[in-house]
Structure 1
């Protein structure tokens, strides 16, 4: 941390330094307090690049030999207050008063930030007027027109600045007026389809996916999340197709890495059933298929993750689970006569398993009526603990199994099942639902939702 005295501050202001970045600030209302400089990495993560302590009159300086990556930064102070600043040429100064930051802030030697705060001040003023409850309809329309005119004029005047791209990236596409007739309900539906399709097609028009600075803003993450949440059907084919479309436009390696990571991480363990297929598509095509984007360990981990997840995708046959029952007899799951099979994988000492097990036992009558069987497997190879668990929770109606097998030649116990690698068990309990052919139709379904899920499967069969 660096403490800057008033005299030194004046000296540094006048000194022409060769530092890679030199940002001087004076904040009225700040005294001997920490100030942080950080860049955005999406909207919910910031990367701190420097920390200083202001002097008694709120003066401070960020200065260093490291090259600051360009983008949108924040300068944070007084715990809960901050300002956004554009870092393009990181040699500028600013001052503000904490009693009215937006009105008082002033920049020297920064066209980017001067334009940025001109835009914010004017938009703040206009929307304050528009939101007055007593405003007439005509006045509101006039003000809305003034907003549009100001934005157009501002963008034209600042077209060469990064801040213009920044503001543009935060806007939604404007949908042209529908030219078709609106005489029937069918016409209205056509208009809505037209609006949806246009909006979706042009959603990323204002976002320059070739500019790596967009990674260090809140807007790219927001755009991605909203697009996939609100505009994309949540099935693996649709998600994969739209991901490919976006990535076809993202040629910059840093932007490309960010988009791949954000989408893949969203669908690796997504609660929406079946969407893991999109993760496998992304991992195979963009991690394994484009190794130059990643370090060797990342590609290796992806290969390992795909090897686990891919055989467990919805629609795949359930991998062979080597279990013996309470009498030591091998369990052949493929021969079970149930319409649906619930596979419950647990640890007898797991607290969450002990909470969920009574709920699953309580579904006994419902499962019997629907021809649903339960195969319960302990991941702990301890017969005493396993049998104690079955008795304690009155789970004798289940087909209870454990991965303990006695070698007929040596008489020794052997273990055959790797629950982590074969069934993706990294926490317990884990629930799979299988159909009559023992194909996976559901995975990681909560016990509370099992009844509704079975009903959903029954409805889908009709």
Structure 2
């Protein structure tokens, strides 16, 4: 407001001066030129970003401004190419610091730039967008493209030496290998000098963030390399060169690669370890930061949808530590409620939890209880007679049941999921499903309160579809003798083999 008021006052005074004073033509020309300059400057003064590019050889086209976010790139803005290949992206919103790209209309050709300044001016041509780049104004991109040029030259030399090393032998091979070693040392020296020169710039911080820790040659008491200690050191120092409290890294290709590698390669792929990793990573950030949000979302989404048995426990852990603690500040009430509802279901279904009892009627209207089964192992299968996959899986399970029931000691508790169960009874009879078959039916549901009060069944038994998260069929759970869940999501042909291996391991 101050700028606009002052500028308006200036124009009023100027108008009065023009009316009541007589000036020489030369002075008037200079004054008008000054006004024009001021007017042209207004847009820049108000703009929070002013990115200008000249791309020789590019005409009558559209280009896109895109930005990294995590492991993907998203379109951010669009500009029409002006005469002479001029491209302007200007606006009053501030752009997040990070790595952006100018993408040509073919959506294949592009060049990258570092955004961490209000004004950026760069020139290149369509023949080689990156190789012919000239940075006119932007200290960040001068440093960025200096390193790109160095890395490109080093890469070409390294590739040539690699070919020579592969094709040679003896002294000649050793000579080329020595040259490669020298090249690597020169590269490391350049990086050190680069950091000393540009260390305060974000472009240099990105280069530094890509570094991996140099691991000491730890040896055990016998003088052999101690690989376990080396691994622990590498993991402990993996994030030494990146500031996880700096949200600009989220808008680069660096952060997600490091997070993914740490989670998938440096963390044991068991739920407890992954859960501890999430807590460790978020402890490095502020609860209100975008990187914090990204870490929580990345781990939650990855393991909520995981098809690997048991990994839904990671989702439960994330819900307990973040979503139920009112730490997911980016979610609206509806989305948070959806996650909490899913958590309420899945917390009871993870491996290691004791399964909820199911009490339903068999085809002869007799009440059957899951907890009444006296067997070392129980296979609970939810299925529908109208499900094509169930029609393939149940005969396979039946064959395994006949072959392994006595040797492995497992019983099957099969729950039909259809309300109207005439087809259910027909399928059981035609396929001679000799295990325990149960289902609800319209009569049970119409008299639900009566049966619950009489102790015939339970509310969770009648609501088994929701309680057991039956969104598709078949669904399989394997329980031990205490009815603890020890496996889930197995194919019928895998069940007997799993029980056999589990039993052997348990008896070791």
Do the structures match in fold with TM over 0.5? Answer: yes
Contact 1:169 1:207 in 2 (8 A): yes
Work out the CA distance in 2 between the residues paired with 1:256 and 1:385: 51
Q: 1:147 aligns with which of 178, 184, 187?
A: 187
Kindly report the root-mean-square deviation, in angstroms, between the aligned alpha carbons of the 2 structures: 3.0
How far does the alpha carbon of each residue in 1:224-281 deviate from its partner, in whole angstroms, 9 at most, with x for none?
Answer: 2211211112223322222222222112522211112212222334344333333323
Q: 1:274 aligns with which of 292, 307, 310?
A: 310
Comparing 228-237 and 298-307, the one that deviates more? 298-307
Q: 2:79 aligns with which of 52, 59, 66?
A: 52
Q: Secondary structure at the match of 2:462?
A: coil
Contact 1:173 1:205 in 2 (8 A): yes
Contact 2:44 2:50 in 1 (8 A): no
- Structure 2 residue 393 is the aligned partner of structure 1 residue 356: yes
- Structure 2 residue 319 is the aligned partner of structure 1 residue 289: no
Q: Secondary structure at the match of 2:47?
A: coil
Q: Secondary structure at the match of 1:323?
A: strand
Deviation of the 1:147 alpha carbon: 0.8
Work out the CA distance in 2 between the residues paired with 1:433 and 1:411: 28
Note closer, same or farther for the CA distance 1:363–1:26 as it changes in structure 2 (3 Å cut). farther
Q: How many residues align?
A: 445
Q: 2:100 aligns with which of 73, 92, 106?
A: 73
How far does the alpha carbon of each residue in 1:92-121 deviate from its partner, in whole angstroms, 9 at most, with x for none?
Answer: 132333433331122221111221121122
Residue pairs, 1:215-294, within 5 angstroms: 215-251=250-286, 253-291=289-327, 293-294=329-330
Name 1:6's counterpart in structure 2: none
Contact 1:27 1:98 in 2 (8 A): yes
Name 2:14's counterpart in structure 1: none
- Structure 2 residue 128 is the aligned partner of structure 1 residue 92: no
Work out the CA distance in 1 between the residues paired with 2:410 and 2:40: 77
Note closer, same or farther for the CA distance 1:17–1:428 as it changes in structure 2 (3 Å cut). farther
- Structure 2 residue 96 is the aligned partner of structure 1 residue 61: no
Note closer, same or farther for the CA distance 1:422–1:23 as it changes in structure 2 (3 Å cut). same
Name 2:15's counterpart in structure 1: none
Work out the CA distance in 1 between the residues paired with 2:445 and 2:419: 19
Name 2:177's counterpart in structure 1: 137
Note closer, same or farther for the CA distance 1:174–1:445 as it changes in structure 2 (3 Å cut). same
Deviation of the 1:14 alpha carbon: 12
Note closer, same or farther for the CA distance 1:65–1:409 as it changes in structure 2 (3 Å cut). closer
Deviation of the 1:448 alpha carbon: 4.5
Contact 1:328 1:405 in 2 (8 A): no
Deviation of the 1:12 alpha carbon: 9.0
Higher helix share: 2
Given the two structures, how large is their TM-score scaled by the length of structure 2?
Answer: 0.79
Deviation of the 1:198 alpha carbon: 0.7
Note closer, same or farther for the CA distance 1:75–1:366 as it changes in structure 2 (3 Å cut). farther
Work out the CA distance in 2 between the residues paired with 1:423 and 1:213: 42
Name 1:450's counterpart in structure 2: 495
| Structure 1: 5+ residue stretches without partners | 1-10
Name 2:417's counterpart in structure 1: 379
Name 1:323's counterpart in structure 2: 360
Work out the CA distance in 2 between the residues paired with 1:371 and 1:247: 45
Name 2:196's counterpart in structure 1: 156
Q: Secondary structure at the match of 1:131?
A: helix
- Structure 2 residue 370 is the aligned partner of structure 1 residue 333: yes
Q: 2:155 aligns with which of 105, 127, 137?
A: 127
Larger-gyration structure (1/2): 2
Note closer, same or farther for the CA distance 1:409–1:199 as it changes in structure 2 (3 Å cut). closer
How far does the alpha carbon of each residue in 1:131-163 deviate from its partner, in whole angstroms, 9 at most, with x for none?
Answer: 321151110110010110111111111111111
Work out the CA distance in 2 between the residues paired with 1:409 and 1:447: 34
Structure 1 consecutive aligned stretches of length 4 or more whose deviation exceeds 6 Å: 11-15, 408-415
Note closer, same or farther for the CA distance 1:65–1:432 as it changes in structure 2 (3 Å cut). same
Work out the CA distance in 2 between the residues paired with 1:419 and 1:16: 63
Name 1:8's counterpart in structure 2: none
Q: 1:176 aligns with which of 210, 216, 224?
A: 216
Note closer, same or farther for the CA distance 1:446–1:125 as it changes in structure 2 (3 Å cut). farther
Deviation of the 1:420 alpha carbon: 4.4
Name 2:475's counterpart in structure 1: 430
Deviation of the 1:213 alpha carbon: 1.0
Note closer, same or farther for the CA distance 1:388–1:233 as it changes in structure 2 (3 Å cut). same
Note closer, same or farther for the CA distance 1:273–1:411 as it changes in structure 2 (3 Å cut). closer
Q: Secondary structure at the match of 1:311?
A: coil
- Structure 2 residue 386 is the aligned partner of structure 1 residue 346: no
Contact 2:445 2:462 in 1 (8 A): no
Work out the CA distance in 2 between the residues paired with 1:461 and 1:404: 39
Deviation of the 1:13 alpha carbon: 12
- Structure 2 residue 506 is the aligned partner of structure 1 residue 461: yes
